[in-house]
């Protein structure tokens, strides 16, 4: 670690790099809580980080982390989000949140 993650641009660049380690993702979440949802979707996010994020006070972050932990719900939402129609839709992330929240609620 050692990077000052108070810089939003540097943190976003790290989140867009698939090689960013989990420890750095945690440091980014602690420094910039507004980027927790993006950290939950990062390919390096491990089970411990996702478990911590699934208890986040922001329901969107918690739902994204829970969905990521339940791979099938995440894959379904991600497939929809990457569809051609969804890329043009401004409500893409709202739909992804709704899908993951529905898939992760206990019946």
Task: Give a yes or no: residue 52 inside a domain.
Answer: yes
106 pLDDT exceeds 80?
no
Neighbour count for residue 80 (Cβ, 10 Å): 15
pTM for the model: 0.64
Q: 71-81 vs 59-69: helix axis angle to the nearest 10?
A: 110
Task: Give a yes or no: residue 17 inside a domain.
Answer: yes
Distance CA 92, CA 80 (A): 9
Q: What pLDDT, in 10s, does the model give residues 36-70?
A: 988 998 988 988 999 999 999 988 888 888 888 87
Per-residue pLDDT band at 4 (split at 50, 70, 90):
confident
Domain of 76, in residue numbers: 8-104
């Amino acid at each position: 670690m050692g990077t000052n993650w108070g810089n939003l641009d540097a943190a976003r660049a790290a989140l867009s790099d698939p090689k960013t380690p989990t420890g750095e993702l945690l440091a980014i979440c602690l420094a910039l809580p507004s980027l927790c949802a993006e950290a939950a979707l990062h390919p390096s996010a491990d089970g411990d980080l996702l478990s911590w994020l699934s208890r986040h006070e922001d329901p969107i972050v918690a739902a994204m982390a829970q969905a990521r932990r339940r791979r099938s719900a995440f894959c379904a939402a991600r497939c929809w989000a990457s569809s051609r129609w969804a890329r043009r839709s401004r409500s893409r992330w709202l739909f992804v949140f709704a899908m993951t929240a529905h898939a992760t609620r206990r019946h």
